[in-house]
Chains A and B, each alone.
Chain A
Amino acid sequence: MRILIATTQVPFVRGGAEIHAEGLRNALCQAGHIAEIVAIPFKWYPPERIPEHILACRLLDLSESCGVRVDRVIGLRFPAYCIPHPNKVLWILHQYRAAYDLWDTPLGDLIHFPDGRQIRDVIHQADRRYIAEAQAIYANSGNVSKRLKNYCDIDSTPLYHPPQDAERFYSGEACDSLFFPSRINRTKRQDLVIEALAHTQEAVQIQFAGMADDASYQRELRETAQRLGVGARIEWLGEISEEEKRDRYAHALGVLYPPLDEDYGYVTLEAMLSARPVITCADSGGPLEFIRDGENGRVTAPTPQALAQAMDELWQDRARARRWGEAGREDYAERRISWQTVISTLTQ
């Protein structure tokens, strides 16, 4: 099949969504399809740009290219998934969250604009209308699927995929450090982890890896760490290579991943592939589809105290940490998460 993957790209920003689209393209090609990514540049501010972007997507014609039919469009992100095609299948990474679950939260920006409600209405209308055009609707995770149902009354099926280079993760001897690999971003809640660190009884140490989306947040984190007297127990690794990341996973005592209502979360899966236990929070979204409290990690209340207690427990009982990590790896294997499953589902 000739397949186009319709996604959205914020110029100069690269993250999980870009890796996801590339992983899908590569898997489609390996399965014998001809696949390419069509990335729509997206700018969401001022909010008046958003309806224009939706309209721009609607005016695109991906039904054929150079006179040859495009057999299928797979839409991933808003508003690219609004592009029309007679044989459109959606695999939704997430909707425009500021119009939904993040609307009246510190992480939502749309609510602060005079016409925020009006723009939100249009986004809701576009989602209800254009998502429903698809022949089949899959969601990146159960969490995304649940939001689609809750907010738009759209049924979808969760379809999991493996993280990039899943087969190259491995496990090694655990060292004296917890690992938190993620973009430095308020939704990932590195601040919560630093506050928790100040509540630990043990000499817990943490390695943060990842680029900062927002320099001011990074500054705040460092200042908070100094103020709470835990700066010396934190290592800021910045952006690291994939190889180094796998090595850090392999030798971490455990992995911290307490984001706020994450869509899916590669970190959880990468930790499981590395046989590391994961500490996450009860409101973290995607990770909760994989982490079972006391079996392959900890699910705590999203408070510094609760998180600190879980970190201390892991620190104190290394054997249990190892058992949970192994259990996580076995869970991952049992789920049979693979690109083959994804491709056969999306091309059926």
Chain B
Amino acid sequence: MKINWFSPLPPARTDIGHYTARIVSALSRRAEITLWACQDDWDSSLEQYATIRRWSGDAWTDLNRADLTFYHIGNNRLFHQAIWETSRRHPGVVVLHDLRLQHLFLGIYLDIQGQRDAYERVMTDYYGHAGRRAARQFFAGELNAEALAERWPLTEHALEGACAVLVHTHDALETLAASNRWPVGCLPLPYPSSLTPPLPRPCDPSAPRRLIVFGYLGANRQLDKLLQALAGLPERLRLQLDIYGQLDQPDRVRAQIRALGLGGIVNLHGFVSESELDRALDHADLAVNLRYPSMGEASGSQLRIWDHALPSLVTRTGWYATLPETTVAFVRPEHEVADIQQHLRQLLIDPEHFASLGCNGRRRLQAQHAPDQYAEALCRFIPVAQNHRRIGLLDPLIARLRHESVAFPQPFRPNDWRRLAGELNTLVGMPAPPP
């Protein structure tokens, strides 16, 4: 079995790259993998598990030599534009790392190309007049990207070339399965748990409790709410917040820290090495891993937090809302400041309770997110996707028929369509419609 795998690769600053690094060893025991890189450099340690090739944009012959191609799609245009464009031309399994992909398409159509017309056309194609109106409201500054993503996710645009879809949450599974267009598989996001449990955290009652936020910190990470909560908390001097990763609007965050007088307890570290981040996670007392709105997918960051047996605050939304109360502490959407403050007070009073959340999270990680289980399930999905690959040809065939039908003086009668539909379905291997 040969598999093509399009994904960002470490050291690209995206957890999807880390996800691939986590799974490739287990996958390589079951299939021959070619990692197609849409970037110039990659972690050479991956080469022990897979052939890595720079995607040139036209190596179709090589893609066709594999049994199936997997495309990993997330919201960052820099990492996913080339992958998405390839997926539209060479059908394969699209693995959605976000369900709402508005940010990806805003990036593709507007950031670089400035194609407002094209973006508006896409929004109209998928959502009709309402979509066009939303696009224009966005151009006019009346809607922000998060609001667009919430209501107009453009998920199907990301799946135009998909013969099957893999997701990591049951919400995403239900949403996509309802459209009945593709086989959809749902697998728990993989994360290899370290063999040795993390050391007990230092428990000097006089030392401040350390909070940590990390990752790509866009608007939906609710950093502003966290800072507001800290600023309004009388006990704030007993806390310290470390922020790792890339800030979407660094100047604005710095200004907010200054304005709220939090300079003494908030540290901005920027991007650091993986080992440094691991050390920070080992020494933290609580991770703040909020998403609102959620882009609808599971969080590799959350799994990493659990691997460190670290308790965490998450927003009660999307995949996070499905997590057991015994593994995370929830923050309600639109009530972030109050809920964060309540949890932080509780942390200072009862740190053992929070520590138990972290331990439970680690147990859940070990039970449900092992890469070997993931690789096994993914390989079982391959024949399902292969059987469905033909179905992608339905759309162009139907479009051609629709185009030709303008020559007919009258619309097709129902029986004509039934015969056509029957032939089309048979051709692509679907059951014929009922008589």
Q: Which of A's residues lie within 8 Å of B, judged by CB?
A: 48, 51-52, 54-55, 58-59, 104, 111-119, 121-122, 125-126, 129
Within 8 Å CB of B392, what residues of A?
115, 118
Contact B427 A126 (CB under 8 A): yes
Q: Which of A54, A114, A122, A125 contacts B60 (CB 8 A)?
A: A114
Contact B91 A55 (CB under 8 A): no
Contact B427 A122 (CB under 8 A): yes
- Pairs A-B, 3 closest by C-beta atoms: A114-B89, A121-B390, A58-B423
Within 8 A of A (CB), among B367-416: 386, 389-390, 392-393, 396-397, 400
Within 8 Å CB of B390, what residues of A?
118, 121-122, 125
Within 8 Å CB of A52, what residues of B?
397, 400
Q: A55 CA to B63 CA in the complex, in Å?
A: 27
Within 8 Å CB of A117, what residues of B?
63-64, 90-91, 389
Within 8 Å CB of B428, what residues of A?
122, 125
Within 8 Å CB of A115, what residues of B?
89-91, 392
- State the main secondary structure of chain A at its contact with B: helix
Within 8 Å CB of B61, what residues of A?
111-112
Q: Which of A51, A114, A116, A129 contacts B397 (CB 8 A)?
A: A51
Q: Which of B64, B397, B424, B426 contacts A111 (CB 8 A)?
A: B64
Within 8 Å CB of A114, what residues of B?
60, 63, 89-90
Closest to A57 in B: B423
Q: Which of A58, A112, A122 contacts B393 (CB 8 A)?
A: A122
Let me know if B429 is at the binding interface, CB within 8 A.
yes
Given known A55-B397, A55-B423, A58-B423, contact A125–B429 (CB-CB < 8 A): yes
Within 8 Å CB of A125, what residues of B?
390, 427-429
Q: How large is the interface on B (under 10, 10 to 19, 20 to 34, 35 or more residues)?
A: 20 to 34
Given known A117-B389, A125-B429, contact A55–B60 (CB-CB < 8 A): no
Chain A proximity mask over B413-435: 1 for CB below 8 Å, otherwise 0: 00000011001101111000000
Chain A proximity mask over B34-64: 1 for CB below 8 Å, otherwise 0: 0000000000000000000000000011011
Closest to A111 in B: B64
Within 8 Å CB of A104, what residues of B?
64-65
Within 8 Å CB of B400, what residues of A?
52
Q: A116 CA to B60 CA in the complex, in Å?
A: 8
Contact B427 A58 (CB under 8 A): yes
Closest to B387 in A: A121
Within 8 Å CB of B89, what residues of A?
114-115
Closest to A84 in B: B423
Within 8 Å CB of A121, what residues of B?
386, 389-390
Closest to A119 in B: B393
Within 8 Å CB of B65, what residues of A?
104, 111
Within 8 Å CB of A111, what residues of B?
60-61, 64-65
Within 8 Å CB of A59, what residues of B?
419-420, 423
Contact A129 B426 (CB under 8 A): yes
From residue B165, how far is it (CB to closest CB) to chain A in Å?
16
From residue A95, how far is it (CB to closest CB) to chain B in Å?
16
Closest to B88 in A: A114
Contact B60 A51 (CB under 8 A): no
28 A-B contact pairs sorted by A residue (CB < 8 Å): A48-B393, A48-B396, A51-B393, A51-B427, A55-B397, A55-B423, A55-B424, A55-B427, A59-B423, A104-B64, A104-B65, A111-B60, A111-B61, A111-B65, A112-B60, A112-B61, A112-B64, A113-B60, A115-B89, A115-B91, A115-B392, A118-B91, A118-B390, A118-B393, A122-B393, A125-B427, A126-B427, A129-B426
Within 8 Å CB of A113, what residues of B?
60, 64
Within 8 A of A (CB), among B64-95: 64-65, 89-91
Known: A116-B64, A118-B392. 16 other contacts (CB 8 A): A52-B397, A54-B427, A55-B427, A58-B423, A104-B64, A111-B60, A112-B64, A113-B64, A117-B64, A117-B389, A118-B91, A118-B163, A121-B389, A122-B390, A125-B427, A129-B427
Q: A93 CA to B392 CA in the complex, in Å?
A: 29
Q: A48 CA to B60 CA in the complex, in Å?
A: 15
Within 8 Å CB of B420, what residues of A?
59
Within 8 Å CB of B64, what residues of A?
104, 111-113, 116-117
Q: A326 CA to B397 CA in the complex, in Å?
A: 55
Task: Give the most central of B64, B91, B389: most A CB within 10 Å.
Answer: B64
Closest to A104 in B: B65
Q: A276 CA to B251 CA in the complex, in Å?
A: 89
